[in-house]
A and B are shown apart, each in its own frame.
Chain A
Amino acid sequence: MDIFAQQLVNGLVLGSIYALVALGYTMVYGILELINFAHGEVTMVGAMVALSVIGLLMGVAPELPGVVVVLAGILVAIPACMALAYTIEKIAYRPLRHAPRLAPLITAIGVSIILQNLAMLIWGRQYVSFPAILPSDKYALLGAQISLLQIVIVVLALLLMAGLWLLVERTRLGRAMRATAQSREVAELMGVNVDRVISATFVLGAAIAAIAGVMVSAYYGLAHYYMGFMLGLKAFSAAVLGGIGNLAGAMLGGLLLGVIEALGAGYIGDLTGGFLGSNYQDVFAFFVLIGVLVLRPSGLLGERVANRA
């Protein structure tokens, strides 16, 4: 088996999940210039809610096919996360829209701590495992192995990205979102209900995050109250890599980060003469993040903004 091809496949799968979560960061940042720290936790809640529903369904209707059960989990997780994000924005961020920049950032951290610890109280400290109810077919692809689940994750992620793209480019809401991102004042003058647009942005990002949360937990076979933290950090790094505020950038950044991470983890032993092992996988995202900020702070697809004014 070809390690390179295999790691590339793994990286693309993981990267498409990062991309989905990154979309939420980038949309909110584009409009509010706020790093919504709680977004990673919303993703985690999506996974947890779905797993609860899945567990419940497997108990009451064991004859249902696994795919249906998981779909039901997703369908409950989506509105749950949307409602959660809506509430967070309304209670914790909206009152601080004109406060000094530090204030909403600190509440965002607070919210993320709250969500994490509530999740811990509700779902416990243990890993919650994702039941093996999905088909586990595997296919050979260019010297690598790819599972049905991986294919579904990538395809679904691409569909979601395309859908979001259409929504932002083609619909009234999308136009309003773009106008608000350009200038909140001007959008307001043009009759855009800015509060609604901001809410919609959070809710939309949360819906995608819910799906991403289920994807990660299905992929790794488990979920944990703490999982949102790393995932969120990496997704944010992906958003910065692509150019924060830029949808295409978030997608590109996510995929790229996934690949960098997978290849890096696969080869770090060889690269460092065995000094560092694959347990350093998690540091790649940060090195990428710092590297981008040093070399090209606007990200790959971001417009070069004059950062002095």
Chain B
Amino acid sequence: MPEALRQRPRLAFAGLAVLLAVLPFLVGLGLGNAWVRVLDFVLLYMLLAIGLNIVVGYAGLLDLGYIAFYALGAYLYAWLASPHFGLHLPFWVVLPLGAMLAGLFGVLLGAPTLRLRGDYLAIVTLGFGEIIRIFMNNLNAPFNLTNGPQGMNRIDPVSVAGLSLGKPLHVAGLTLPPTTLYYYLFLAFVLLAIFVAMRLQDSRIGRAWAALREDEIAAAAMGIDTRNVKLLAFAMGASFGGLAGGLFAAFQGFISPESFTLWESILVLCMIVLGGMGNIPGVLLGAALLTLIPEALRYLGDLQRATLGHVVVDPSDLRMLLFGVALVMMMLFRPAGLLPSRLRRREFAAQDGVAEQEQASLYDAHA
């Protein structure tokens, strides 16, 4: 079947487009509207994962505070489009601003640390993520900027051409609930992000990132300004995060610091590690799996109640544990992820019996 589709890419493409278009209806009818909401989150996480993948997968920089950029985008959206300050700017103004703000913070944070060894970046971004969260939690006094731990609510929904995505839409006898409307909006952004990320990967910039990831010194010696190229990756990734944050705020209508903990950063990192760092289909798969699995895990609680009479282990307690185990296992046994990258596949096709073992040691010698 997949073979047949590969023969007719246009047919496969059309099929995929139709599937994506009717997916929320199928899911809504089959599993209920709650699952359409899950679908929306899948898309949101895909957006985040594509952004983080630029930083980690393409350029090989470990960013552990990625969610801070998401938070920046979300808070900026809330400030500019909610009763909090009485501002109600349209989404097409706020979203780009959020992306830019996040990108700016990415540069501010990256500039001092990117000339150092990669692992310092990991720690500094981790710290940055916490700083942002601490500030969001506490900036309700003396001047109420974030409304503290309560968070901010009544954030404006996205509205396109006078049409609010926050209300159900009636067309041609169909009623499209907000979750479905946002599905299409998020889908559009994800497709755009995929397009941008893939174009970038297959370009002079993308090759420079890859070179940087493979060997920073050799990259510099080949004429790459490693500092600028790193900053670029960092800022690009951050602005994807900021964009996703804005969408999240509009979709939920409510944000609080709780949505932006370190574990969210780790979750997104898990997505790209699991799916396949550097490879967009892998990243998308990772995002889908890790959003859906916890949802499915909820049934584990019901299952325990049904079979044992009470809940022995709360499945949400197991979630992080499983992620931790998955991270370690993936690194130990399948470091390239579930879907290894394009290059590796191409290589397997082109390979004509070159002694691999011998070469591997060559690189070890000076790693």
**Chain A interface (Cβ < 8 Å from any Cβ of B):** 33-35, 92, 95-96, 98-107, 109-114, 116-118, 120-121, 229, 233, 236-237, 240, 274-277, 279-280, 282-283, 285-287, 289-290, 293-294, 297, 307, 309
Identity of the chain B residue whose Cβ is nearest the Cβ of A115 in the assembled complex: B324
CA–CA, A309 and B226, complex, Å? 13
29 A-B pairs in the complex with CB atoms less than 8 angstroms apart: A33-B117, A96-B331, A99-B331, A100-B60, A101-B118, A102-B62, A106-B327, A106-B331, A107-B332, A109-B64, A109-B269, A110-B327, A111-B324, A114-B324, A114-B325, A114-B328, A116-B324, A121-B317, A121-B321, A233-B126, A233-B130, A283-B130, A283-B131, A283-B134, A286-B127, A289-B127, A290-B127, A293-B112, A297-B116
In terms of DSSP, what is the predominant structure of the interface of chain B?
helix
What range describes how many residues of B lie at the interface? 35 or more
Q: Verify A113–B332 contact, CB threshold 8 A.
A: no
Q: Is the CB of B328 within 8 A of A111?
A: yes
Interfacial chain A residues near B56, Cβ < 8 Å: 102
State in angstroms the CA–CA spacing of A111 and B321 once bound together. 9
Instruction: Tell whether, in the assembled complex, residue B335 and residue A99 are in contact, meaning their CB atoms are under 8 Å apart.
Output: yes
A57 to B141, CA, bound (A): 46
| A237 CB → nearest B CB, Å | 7
Chain A interface helix/strand/loop/mixed: helix
What CA separation (Å) do A23 and B249 show in the bound complex?
Answer: 42
Those 4 A-B pairs whose CB atoms lie nearest each other, nearest first: A110-B327, A113-B324, A286-B127, A114-B324
A279 to chain B: which residues have CB within 8 Å?
Answer: 134, 137-138
Q: Bound complex: CA of A118 vs CA of B324, how far in Å?
A: 10
Q: Complex formed: what's the CA distance from A100 to B214 in Å? A: 9
Residue of B whose beta carbon sits closest to that of A29 = B119
Beta-carbon contacts under 8 Å, B297-334 to A: 313, 317-318, 320-321, 323-328, 331-332
B residues within 8 Å of A by Cβ? 56, 60, 62, 64, 112-113, 115-120, 122-124, 126-128, 130-131, 134-135, 137-138, 141-143, 217, 262, 266, 269, 273, 313, 317-318, 320-321, 323-328, 331-332, 335, 364, 367
Residues on A with beta carbons closer than 8 Å to the beta carbon of B335: 99-100, 103
Q: Report how far A10 CA is from B117 CA in the complex, Å.
A: 33
Query: Within the assembled complex, what's the spacing in Å between the Cα atoms of A120 and B324?
Result: 13
Is B331 within 8 A of A107, CB to CB?
A: yes
Q: Chain B's nearest CB lies how many Å from the CB of A87? A: 12
A290 B331 Cβ-Cβ under 8 A:
no
Residues of B within 8 A of A287 (CB): 131
CA A101 – CA B119 in complex, angstroms? 8
CA distance A9 to B327 in the complex (A): 41
**Contacts A274-B142, A307-B115 given; does A286 touch B130 at CB 8 Å:** yes
A-B contacts besides A113-B324, A280-B138, A289-B123, 7 pairs, CB < 8 Å: A96-B332, A98-B364, A101-B119, A102-B60, A110-B331, A112-B324, A117-B318
Q: Check if A307 sits within 8 Å of B116, measured CB to CB.
A: yes
Residue of A nearest to B217 (CB): A309
Query: Closest residue to B122 on the A side, CB-wise?
Result: A105
Task: Name the contact of A237 in the complex, choosing from B127, B135, B313 (C-beta under 8 A).
Answer: B127
- Partner of B321 from A106, A117, A297 at Cβ < 8 Å: A117
Chain B residues contacting A121 (CB-CB under 8 Å) are 313, 317, 321
Partner of A286, one of B60, B128, B217, B273: B128
Q: In the complex, which of the residues B119, B141, B143, B269 has the most CB atoms of chain A within 10 Å of its own CB atom?
A: B119
- Which residues of the other chain, B, contact A96 by a CB distance below 8 angstroms? 331-332
CA distance A306 to B278 in the complex (A): 30
Considering the chains assembled together, what is the distance between the CA atoms of A64 and B321 in angstroms?
38
Cα-based distance from A274 to B142 in the complex (angstroms): 8
Q: How near does chain B come to A182, taking the closest CB pair, in angstroms?
A: 17
Say whether B324 contacts A110, CB under 8 Å. Answer: yes
The complex places the Cα of A277 from the Cα of B331 at a distance, in Å, of 42
> Is B317 in contact with A117, judged by CB distance below 8 angstroms?
yes
Q: How far is the CB of A69 from chain B (nearest CB, A)?
A: 30
The CA of A109 and the CA of B267, in the complex, are separated in Å by: 11
Q: Closest A residue to B109 by CB, please name it.
A: A290
Q: In the complex, A309 Cα to B143 Cα: how many Å?
A: 47
Bound CA–CA A232/B328 (angstroms): 20
Pick the residue among B120, B131, B313, B326 that contacts A293 (CB under 8 A). Answer: B120
Contact: B113 with A113, CB < 8 Å? no
Contact B138 A106, beta carbon cutoff 8 Å: no
Which residues from A are CB-within-8-Å of B327? Answer: 106-107, 109-110, 113
**A35 touching B317, Cβ below 8 Å:** no
Q: Given A99-B335, A109-B327 in contact, is the A233-B320 Cβ separation under 8 Å?
A: no
Contacts of A307 in B (CB 8 A): 115-117
Given contacts A120-B317, A233-B130, contact A240 B328 (CB under 8 A): no
CB pair B324–A103 under 8 Å, yes or no, is no
Q: Are A106 and B269 in contact (CB under 8 A)?
A: yes
**Whole-angstrom distance between the alpha carbons of A90 and B56 in the complex?**
26
Closest Cβ of chain B to A36, distance in Å, is: 11
- A105 to B61, alpha carbons, bound, how many Å? 11
- Cα A236 to Cα B112 in complex, Å, equals 18
Task: Select one of B119, B142, B321, B325 contacting A105, CB under 8 A.
Answer: B119
Central interface residue in A99, A106, A233, A240, by most chain B CB within 10 Å: A106
Can you name the residue of chain A whose Cβ is closest to the Cβ of B112?
A: A294
Bound-state CA distance A116–B64 (Å) is 17
Q: Measured between C-beta atoms, what is the minimum distance from B85 to chain A in Å?
A: 19
Cβ-neighbour of A107 out of B119, B266, B328 (below 8 A): B328
Q: Is the CB of B328 within 8 A of A92?
A: yes
CB distance from A117 to the nearest CB of B (A): 4
